């Protein structure tokens, strides 16, 4: 998380320097203009850049506070999907601790490879009585639905945005393709493959023995519908959160696009950025998110706003996830029975 924050801070400074260089160059162009008519375009452009230059005084802090609260709320649907997935594994777990496992797992995103996410969540489910193999499958189900719904939402929205057509078609077809594994018939095959792979890594111990006695995992349409609805709600909240971050920055409306277009672009950009960042296996999708956000969002709000919004959103996400994990840790510590000597 420290490396991610440092990278964001470096990009923020670089963006500030590039913007100031453009402003200074335009000032020279104004001075060298032979008449007022020739200087007018440079004056207008310079005023736009000055208005879009981020500063603490220009930021609408209320929007950022609302965005933080909304992102905190977006962590809840994923916990409900994990709870439903645990039920699919044959375990009716208490809702609170299951959601706590989901929240704590977010911290694993900032470790290379993303495997720590599974380790944390499956480990917490194991503490609740779920064998590690079945807990890992439950985590896998929550993750694949999260990514599939995000990709589908991004693909549908990007196709209607003013971006290159190859990007629009690639996003749409990619979003549609990743939804196929979530259909129960295909999901059953995928789960069987994951289970066989995990069992091949296990030695014939008690965990493997316990799991082999359990009934086969059968993804149902009930789980499919519930997971899609909850994860769609999560993505809509994340998208609205990012749109609020964009709205908090000066110059977001300089290009003249309607608010509905900015909202759609914000939702599409953050969804695709997070999915691509996840697939990249880089800690927190460092660098990848910013690149995707700049490509999708910049045509609607401009390059400076897009990059600053990406950096601001990353900071908000990290802070909210750390605070939420701290809250879960505090609750778990308070509710844990005291150890006896």
**Alpha carbon separation from 108 to 25, 66, 73, 194, 237 (Å, rounded):** 44, 25, 19, 20, 21
The answer to which of 6-15, 78-87, 179-188 has the lowest mean pLDDT is 6-15
pLDDT of residue 171: 80
Greater model confidence, 314 or 18: 314
pLDDT of residue 243: 95
At which residue do the structure tokens 């320097």 appear?
17
- Cα angle 173, 178, 182 (rounded to 5 degrees) comes to 140
The pLDDT-based confidence of 202 (bands split at 50, 70, 90) is low
Task: Quote the tokens at residue 319.
Answer: 């802070």
Residues 301 and 52: beta-carbon distance below 8 Å: no
In a domain, 281, yes or no: yes
The pLDDT-based confidence of 99 (bands split at 50, 70, 90) is very high
Which among 118, 122, 101, 99 is positioned nearest to 109, based on CA atoms?
A: 118
* Residue 5, pLDDT above cutoff 70: no
What is the mean pLDDT of the segment spanning 64-80?
A: 96
Residues 64 and 312: beta-carbon distance below 8 Å: yes
**Alpha carbon separation from 330 to 118, 258, 325, 334, 339 (Å, rounded):** 22, 44, 9, 6, 16
Residues 25 and 95 reside in one and the same domain: no
The answer to which of 125-134, 171-180, 188-197, 323-332 has the lowest mean pLDDT is 188-197
Residues 140 and 13 reside in one and the same domain: no
The pLDDT-based confidence of 81 (bands split at 50, 70, 90) is very high
What is the mean pLDDT of the segment spanning 54-79?
A: 89
Sign of the Cα torsion 185, 187, 191, 197 reads positive
Identify the domain boundary among 33, 51, 69: 51
> How many residues make up the chain in this entry?
341
Average pLDDT for the chain = 82
Residues 198 and 257 reside in one and the same domain: yes
The secondary structure of residue 248, as a DSSP letter, is T
pLDDT of residue 147: 92
pLDDT of residue 285: 58
Instruction: Provide the domain limits for residue 242.
Output: 60-335
In a domain, 121, yes or no: yes
Q: Report the alpha-carbon distance of residue 5 to residue 325 in Å, rounded.
A: 18
At which residue do the structure tokens 């393709």 appear?
177
In a domain, 341, yes or no: no
**Alpha carbon separation from 206 to 119, 136, 168, 213 (Å, rounded):** 19, 16, 50, 11
* Residue 338, pLDDT above cutoff 50: no
Q: Report the alpha-carbon distance of residue 18 to residue 314 in Å, rounded.
A: 21
What is the mean pLDDT of the segment spanning 212-228?
A: 77
pLDDT tens-digit series, residues 281-302: 666 556 677 778 777 888 888 8
Residues 1 and 73 reside in one and the same domain: no
Residues 122 and 25 reside in one and the same domain: no
Residues 74 and 47 reside in one and the same domain: no
The answer to which of 48-62, 171-185, 195-209 has the lowest mean pLDDT is 195-209
pLDDT of residue 304: 75
Greater model confidence, 129 or 17: 129
Residues 3 and 134 reside in one and the same domain: no
pLDDT of residue 216: 63
Residues 278 and 306: beta-carbon distance below 8 Å: no
Residues 79 and 152 reside in one and the same domain: yes
Q: Which residues, in sequence order, are CB contacts of 166 under 8 Å at separation 6+?
A: none
The pLDDT-based confidence of 149 (bands split at 50, 70, 90) is very high
Q: Report the alpha-carbon distance of residue 240 to residue 257 in Å, rounded.
A: 17
Q: Report the alpha-carbon distance of residue 120 to residue 117 in Å, rounded.
A: 5
* Residue 51, pLDDT above cutoff 80: no
What is the mean pLDDT of the segment spanning 239-263?
A: 88
Residues 118 and 141: beta-carbon distance below 8 Å: no
pLDDT of residue 340: 36
Domain count, the chain: 2
Residues 193 and 222 reside in one and the same domain: yes
Q: Report the alpha-carbon distance of residue 261 to residue 272 in Å, rounded.
A: 16
pLDDT of residue 296: 82
What is the mean pLDDT of the segment spanning 61-70?
A: 95
Measured over all CA atoms, what is the biggest interatomic distance in the chain, rounded to whole angstroms?
88
Residues 214 and 267 reside in one and the same domain: yes
- DSSP3 helix / strand / coil % (the chain, rounded to 5): 80, 0, 20
pLDDT of residue 93: 92
* Residue 45, pLDDT above cutoff 80: no
* Residue 341, pLDDT above cutoff 50: no
What is the mean pLDDT of the segment spanning 298-320?
A: 86
Treating both helix axes as pointing N-terminal to C-terminal, what angle do 132-158 and 115-127 enclose, rounded to 10 degrees?
130
Residues 248 and 327 reside in one and the same domain: yes
Rg of the Cα atoms in the chain: 23
Residues 104 and 249 reside in one and the same domain: yes
């Amino acid at each position: 998380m420290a490396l991610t924050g440092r990278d964001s801070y470096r990009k923020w400074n670089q963006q500030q320097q590039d913007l100031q260089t453009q402003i200074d160059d335009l000032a020279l162009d104004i001075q060298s203009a032979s008449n007022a008519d020739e200087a007018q375009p440079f004056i207008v452009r310079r005023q736009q850049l000055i208005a879009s230059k981020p500063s603490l005084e220009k930021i609408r802090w209320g929007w950022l506070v609302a965005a933080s609260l909304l992102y905190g709320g977006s962590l809840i649907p994923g916990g409900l999907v994990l709870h439903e997935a645990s039920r699919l594994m044959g375990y009716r777990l208490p809702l609170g601790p299951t959601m706590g496992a989901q929240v704590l797992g977010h911290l694993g995103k900032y470790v290379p490879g993303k495997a720590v996410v599974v380790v944390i969540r499956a480990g917490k489910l194991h503490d609740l009585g779920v064998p590690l193999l079945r807990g890992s499958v439950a985590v896998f189900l929550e993750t694949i639905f999260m990514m599939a719904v995000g990709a589908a939402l991004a693909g549908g929205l990007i196709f209607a945005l003013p971006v290159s057509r190859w990007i629009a078609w690639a996003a749409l077809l990619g979003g549609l393709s990743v939804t196929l594994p979530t259909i129960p018939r295909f999901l059953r095959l995928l789960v069987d493959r994951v289970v066989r792979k995990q069992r091949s890594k296990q030695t014939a111990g008690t965990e493997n023995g316990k799991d082999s006695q359990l009934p086969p995992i059968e993804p149902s349409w009930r789980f499919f519908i519930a997971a899609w609805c909850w994860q769609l709600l999560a993505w809509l909240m994340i998208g609205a959160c990012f749109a609020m971050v964009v709205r908090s920055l000066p110059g977001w409306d300089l290009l003249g696009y309607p608010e509905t277009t900015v909202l759609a672009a914000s939702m599409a950009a953050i969804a695709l950025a997070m999915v691509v960042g996840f697939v990249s296996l880089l800690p927190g999708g460092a660098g990848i998110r910013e690149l995707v956000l700049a490509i999708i969002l910049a045509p609607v709000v401009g390059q400076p706003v897009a990059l600053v919004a990406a950096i601001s959103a990353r900071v908000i996400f990290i802070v909210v996830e750390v605070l939420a994990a701290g809250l879960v840790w505090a609750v778990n510590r308070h509710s844990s029975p005291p150890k006896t000597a």
